[in-house]
Amino acid sequence: MQLFADWHVHTSYSDGHATPEEIVAAAARRGLAEVAITDHGPRGMFIGVRDAGVYRELKDQAARLSELYPVRVLVGAEANVISLRGEIDVPEPIINELDVLIAGLHPQVWCKPWWETLTWILPNRIGKTSGWVREKMRESNTMALVAAVRNNPLTFISHPGLVMAVDLDEVARACAGTGCAMEINSGHHYDRDEVVRAALRKGALLVVNSDAHYPGTVGELGIGIQLLDKYRVPSERVLNARPAGQNAVPGYLPGAVGGLVRRTVSAGS
Ligand SMILES: [Zn+2]
Ligand SMILES: [Zn+2]
């Protein structure tokens, strides 16, 4: 399996440790055709961008860097899911200008309404040891993530099941229905096998990314590629894979909003 893009990378505009140019130079060294800079949404506690206007600044930088390096530089957001109703912390006018829209559950986020930070996020942080709390949170997390998938034109969801537990089958079913892909995140340890199995069971697309926070790990996708091979996932089911026998980067179908990277779902199981 050959992958042409890494669509999940952070810079020092959020909690990464690199400038956009250092990221793009690293992507060029790795031989990637595309890289997307996807800093954390503004409601991430201590890890988010200053405000959503930062994504516009990054678009300007990406245009300049695309001229300088042999890499197509995209800009996206790793938005936070900020309510149980699946709202995200990037407003629609900004979404319209992005190339990639990711949403993920993170245990360090200021919710809207604020009290859900206490009633939903906090128990996720302290309830890891209690089976009952964990099960209750799993239901809440699943509800929020499924709503985010249904209500936003997401390219993919980041690291489903990392730290904040979800029912992966339910999430995969929602993804299969909307064309949102499920991420195999090479940069974090969690049950990635179960993500692949759920996506295959329910017919959802997959995508492999590094979630790099340093230039050195940009394009480090090996763990994900091994999993795709292990489960014999066909390249048509992987958003950032080159179709078998083709060298060209596939074109994109316009998403529901603007020019987001999306692909319609082919018939799933
Ligand atoms: Zn994340
Ligand atoms: Zn990330």
The DSSP line for the chain is --B-EEEEE--TTTT-SS-HHHHHHHHHHHT-SEEEEEEEPTTBTTTS-SSTTHHHHHHHHHHHHHHHSSSEEEEEEEEEB-STT--BSS-HHHHTT-SEEEEE--SSB--SSTTHIIIIIHHHHHGGG-HHHHHHHHHHHHHHHHHHHHHS--SEESSTTSSS---HHHHHHHHHHHT-EEEEETTS-S-HHHHHHHHHHHT--EEEE--BSSGGGTT--HHHHHHHHHTT--GGGBTTBPPTT--SPPP-B--SSTT--B-PPPP--
pLDDT at 255: 43
CA of 134 to the centre of ligand 1 (A): 20
pTM of the predicted structure, to 2 decimals:
0.93
Domains of the chain: 5-237 (3.20.20.140)
102 Cα to the center of ligand 1, angstroms: 9
- Cα 246 to ligand 1 centre (Å): 31
Say which residue the tokens 């990635």 belong to.
Answer: 192
Q: What's the CA gap between 82 and 117, in Å, rounded?
A: 9
pLDDT at 264: 47
* pLDDT tens profile 62-82: 999 999 999 999 999 999 999
Expressed in angstroms and rounded, the spacing between residue 3 Cα and the centre of ligand 1 is 20
158 Cα: distance to centroid of ligand 1 (angstroms): 6
**For residue 36, which ligand has an atom nearest its CA?**
2
- Cα of 242 vs centre of ligand 1, distance in Å, is 25
pLDDT score of 249: 57
Give pLDDT tens digits for 199-247. 999 999 999 999 999 999 999 999 999 999 999 999 999 999 977 666 5
Q: What is the whole-number distance in angstroms between the Cα of residue 78 and the centre of ligand 2?
A: 6
Give 200 Cα–ligand 2 centroid separation in angstroms: 23
pLDDT below 50 — which residues of the chain? 254-257, 264-269
Ion ligand 1: residues, Cβ under 5 Å: 104, 158
Report the alpha-carbon distance of residue 224 to residue 212 in Å, rounded: 14
Q: How far is the CA of 90 from the centre of ligand 1 (A)?
A: 15
Please give the pLDDT value at position 35: 96
Residue ranges near ligand 2 (ion) with Cβ within 5 Å: 78, 211
Q: Find, among 232, 230, 228, 178, the residue nearest to 202 by Cα.
A: 178
* Cα of 245 from ligand 2 centre, angstroms: 31
Question: Among residues 61, 63, 3, which one has the least CA distance to residue 31?
Answer: 3
Tell me how far the alpha carbon of residue 15 lies from the centroid of ligand 2, in angstroms: 9
Checking 108-117 for CB contacts under 8 A at 24+ apart, the result is: 108/44, 108/45, 108/46, 108/47, 109/43, 109/44, 109/45, 109/80, 109/81, 109/82, 110/43, 110/45, 110/82, 111/43, 111/82, 111/83, 112/43, 112/82, 112/83, 112/87, 113/83, 116/82, 116/83, 116/84
Q: What does the block give as tokens for 241? A: 């894979």
The Cα angle at residue 206 between residues 140 and 254, in degrees rounded to 5: 95
pLDDT at 254: 44
Interatomic CA distance for residues 198 and 27, integer angstroms: 30
Q: What gap in Å lies between CA 95 and CA 256, rounded to an integer? A: 11
Q: What strands, in cross-sheet order, belong to the sheet with 156-157?
A: 5-9, 34-40, 72-80, 100-104, 156-157, 181-185, 206-209
